């Protein structure tokens, strides 16, 4: 018995669409991260980006549990001394709701070159409109 290692010729990228309306942010992020990494297929190879594309719509309608809406903050740094910037969950939801979902998924993929490559296959939109109809994405139900 030999360990299977996929080749680039074996890779077939599928497209999925997820409606984030009334779905918990963490549950959505964990299941989308598994799809992006292709852990649901038997040909999973840990060191390769064999990922499927995921389009998330209605990011502005994702929900959180507990007091996260009041307490959660997002951090970024400008790169200059003293350049720390914090933004609350509520402000981020008003200005850029798609970044909330992206940040949640980014935390669940590898933090290296592979993770950055995988994240390029994630497309997040605040509303219901998206420009990926030509790819004929399959609907993915998040439980």
Four-residue CA torsion sign, 7, 13, 120, 73: negative
Question: What are the C-alpha distances in Å from 127 to residues 21, 30, 61, 75, 97?
Answer: 10, 21, 9, 24, 10
pLDDT level of residue 102 (50, 70, 90 thresholds): very high
> What are the b/e assignments for 85-106, b being 16+ CB within 10 Å?
eeeebeebbeebbbbbbbbbbb
Would residue 47 count as lying in a domain?
Answer: yes
pLDDT level of residue 3 (50, 70, 90 thresholds): confident
Query: Would you call 63 helix, strand, or coil by DSSP?
Result: strand
Query: Taking the model in full, what pTM does it have?
Result: 0.92
Which pair of tokens denotes residue 142? 């998040």
Would residue 24 count as lying in a domain?
Answer: yes
Range of the domain at 35: 13-62+97-139
Would residue 2 count as lying in a domain?
Answer: no
Which pair of tokens denotes residue 118? 């995988």
Domain count, the chain: 1
| CATH number (domain holding residue 126) | 3.90.1180.10
pLDDT level of residue 6 (50, 70, 90 thresholds): confident
Would residue 75 count as lying in a domain?
Answer: no
Would residue 123 count as lying in a domain?
Answer: yes
CA distance 110 to 116: 8
Tally Cβ neighbours within 10 Å of residue 137: 19
Would residue 79 count as lying in a domain?
Answer: no
pLDDT level of residue 11 (50, 70, 90 thresholds): confident
Would residue 18 count as lying in a domain?
Answer: yes
* Cβ within 8 Å of residue 135, ≥6 positions away: 15, 53
Supply the pLDDT for residue 59. 97
Would residue 56 count as lying in a domain?
Answer: yes
């Amino acid at each position: 018995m030999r360990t299977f290692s996929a080749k680039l010729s074996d890779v077939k990228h599928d497209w999925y669409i997820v409606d984030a309306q009334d779905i918990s942010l963490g549950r959505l992020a964990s299941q989308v991260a598994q799809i992006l990494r292709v852990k649901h297929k038997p040909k999973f190879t840990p060191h390769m980006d064999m990922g499927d594309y995921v389009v998330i719509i209605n990011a502005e309608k994702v929900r959180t549990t507990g007091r996260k809406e009041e307490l959660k903050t997002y951090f970024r740094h400008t790169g200059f001394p003293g350049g720390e910037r914090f933004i609350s969950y509520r402000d981020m939801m008003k200005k850029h709701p798609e970044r909330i979902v992206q940040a949640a998924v980014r935390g669940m993929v590898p933090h290296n070159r592979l993770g950055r490559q995988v994240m390029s296959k994630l497309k997040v939109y605040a509303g219901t409109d998206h420009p990926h109809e030509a790819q004929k994405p399959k609907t993915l139900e998040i439980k």
